[in-house]
Amino acid sequence: MGGYWSGILAILAINVIFAYGIFLPVATGQLNLGGAGFQAVGAYAAAYMSYTYDWPVALTLILAMVVTGGIGFAVAFPILRLRGVYLVLGTFAFAEVVAGLILNSETLGGAIGLPVPAFVDYEVPVVLAALVTLFVFYLMATRFGLVMRAVHDDEVVSDLMGVSLRGVKVAAFAVGAGLCGLAGGLYAHTFTYVEIQAFNALVSINVLLFVLLGGTQTAFGPLIGAAFFTLLPEALRVLLPQLQASVASLFGAAGDMRAPDDSWRFVILGCVTVLMMVFRPEGLVTRTLVERFKPRRRSGLAAAEASA
């Protein structure tokens, strides 16, 4: 496999894990716009241990997950008191605080960043992404998953049904933070360098977009969302010049020989995003869509109604 595709595959795998980290709180109705902050914590934890103490990759990844999950757990208690747009701003502010702290830390390399001696090839993120995907599908099939979706739909009723709202939200937020940390650790070892500019607000926005546009009702959503939005810009990189050439030939021109302007890819990406919000406001993959592909379990009466 060429270096280009293995690179894409590694980014895709990291993005899938990252998206699941944001999906878990979002599935309980808590928008997390601090993804880059959690990813940065994981990336720097792994990078620091690898750079300073030469820890093996397996240990740095576990540490990245545990540290970020722990910080997510601690932050969840105050931050989940916020609701709606205030929660979004709160998580966003958290990411800014993390970035500020790292930028001013000599130990973590400040603005220069840290090199990561241990490199991992694409297989590691791909295998871990598969494991994380299985884990999230499992989690969503448990009663915990049921309760997460219930809290998303109606908090008052969930509470009266005996659900511990805070317990569910904090657990989803902390486990999600742990997954963001794992994605960060993998990022560090894949790119062998961490600098805080890589974990900016745009990263937080993008990963939240993966989840919201992929669909928050089932575990398929983030998978599809991350895959779609990671691969679309790459596909456009190939397709856009062809598109330009064919448009040019329509007008009789012999084809535009200029190098394709890279920013057009993001224009198209933005348009696709808007279109998806208009036509699939609940995300690309919804619960009803998944049900449609399952074997029918309706019996007599409903079938009779359908045929009548």
Partner 1 sequence: MMPPLLALQGVSKSFGGLEVITDVAFNVEAGGRTALIGPNGAGKTTLFNLISGVYRQDKGSIALSGEDISDIASRRRIGLGMARSFQNIRLMPHLSVTENIMLGQQARAGSLADMLTPLSLFGRTKWRREAEELLGRMGLDTYPGEVVATLPYGIRKKIEVVRALAASPKLLLLDEPAAGLNPTETAALSDFLAEIAETGVTLLVVEHDMGFVRSLCDHAVVLNFGRKIYDGPTGSVQEDPDVLEAYLGRRNRNEDAAASAREGIHAA
User: In the complex, which residues of this chain contact partner 1 (CB under 8 A)?
Assistant: 138, 141-144, 146-147, 149-150, 152-154, 156-165, 217, 287-288, 291, 294, 297-302
First-to-last C-alpha distance (Å) of the chain: 55
Q: Give min distance, CB of 13 to partner 1, in A.
A: 24
CB atoms within 10 A of CB 271: 10
Q: How far apart are CA 96 and CA 53, in angstroms?
A: 28
Q: Give min distance, CB of 286 to partner 1, in A.
A: 8
Q: Give min distance, CB of 156 to partner 1, in A.
A: 7
Q: How far apart are CA 152 and CA 147, in angstroms?
A: 9
Looking at the Cβ atoms of 150 and 232, the one nearer to partner 1 is: 150
Q: Give min distance, CB of 269 to partner 1, in A.
A: 28
91, 234, 299, 303 from 295: Cα distances, Å? 40, 35, 12, 14
Q: Give min distance, CB of 218 to partner 1, in A.
A: 9
Looking at the Cβ atoms of 157 and 247, the one nearer to partner 1 is: 157
Looking at the Cβ atoms of 112 and 303, the one nearer to partner 1 is: 303
Looking at the Cβ atoms of 247 and 302, the one nearer to partner 1 is: 302
Q: Give min distance, CB of 136 to partner 1, in A.
A: 13
Residues 6+ apart with CB under 8 A from 186: 10, 13, 14, 17, 61, 120, 124, 125, 128
Residue owning tokens 């980014």: 11
CB neighbour class for 96 (10 Å; exposed up to 12, middle 13-18, buried from 19): middle
Looking at the Cβ atoms of 109 and 222, the one nearer to partner 1 is: 222
CB neighbour class for 52 (10 Å; exposed up to 12, middle 13-18, buried from 19): exposed
Looking at the Cβ atoms of 263 and 288, the one nearer to partner 1 is: 288
Secondary structure (3-state) at 193:
strand
CB neighbour class for 144 (10 Å; exposed up to 12, middle 13-18, buried from 19): middle
Looking at the Cβ atoms of 258 and 294, the one nearer to partner 1 is: 294
Looking at the Cβ atoms of 157 and 275, the one nearer to partner 1 is: 157
Q: Give min distance, CB of 176 to partner 1, in A.
A: 16
Q: Give min distance, CB of 216 to partner 1, in A.
A: 9
Tokens standing for 291?
């049900």
CB atoms within 10 A of CB 151: 23
